Amino acid sequence: MKEWFLLYCKRSEQERAVLNLDRQGVECYYPQVLINKLVRGKRIEVEEPLFPSYMFVYFDPEEISYTTIRSTRGVADFIRQGRMPQPIRAELLYGLMLNENTQEQQSKLSTLPQPGDKLVLEKGQYKGIEAIYHEPDGEKRSFMLINLLGKEVKVSVDNSEIVKK
């Protein structure tokens, strides 16, 4: 039975991993966002992974072994709890897919709140909850993803779900 798993990829090799996993019949997903960055003194929009070095894969472990996936070029290893890779709840992943930034939402990324700003969530299961904006950095978003999967405490919400207080 097919399930979703989380992979850790070698630094900046997600594209390579996707190509090689795709050839093996493994479905891959890693959300990307447009970010305004200062490059060589000019502000440009750059597309970057929402969770750098992490990718979700969908496959049947009885058809394709964990070792085959782990040995794929660009892949470092599975995120595990104990010895075996742990499946990811599909609802969590489909929620990410549904909230993936559209072009309209991506333009809002240039007006992100500053860390420490108080916000109120407008949509989703956390509607009406006051929150404090914490992190725009991709590497730290990845740590928050791992905490979310392990503890289910920290949440990442779409920018359209928040209002500055």
What DSSP line would sit under 11-50, residue for residue?
Answer: TT-HHHHHHHHHHTT-EEE--EEEEEEEETTEEEEEEEES
CA distance 154 to 70: 28
Please report, for the domain that includes residue 95, its CATH number.
3.30.70.940
Question: pLDDT tens digits for 85-112?
Answer: 989 888 888 877 877 645 445 444 445 5
Residue 140: alpha-carbon gap to chain centroid: 11
Angle at alpha carbon of residue 161, lines to 129 and 125, rounded to 5°: 55
Question: pLDDT tens digits for 49-73?
Answer: 888 899 999 999 999 999 999 999 9
Cα four-point dihedral sign 75, 78, 84, 89: negative
The single residue listed with the structure tokens 């750059």 is: 46
CA distance 27 to 57: 6
> CB 124: neighbour CB atoms within 10 A?
15
pLDDT at 6 over 90: yes
Which pLDDT score, from 0 to 100, does residue 7 have? 94
Claim: this prediction has a pTM higher than 0.75: no
Structural domain span for residue 104: 3-164
pLDDT at 113 over 70: no
Count of domains forming the chain? 1
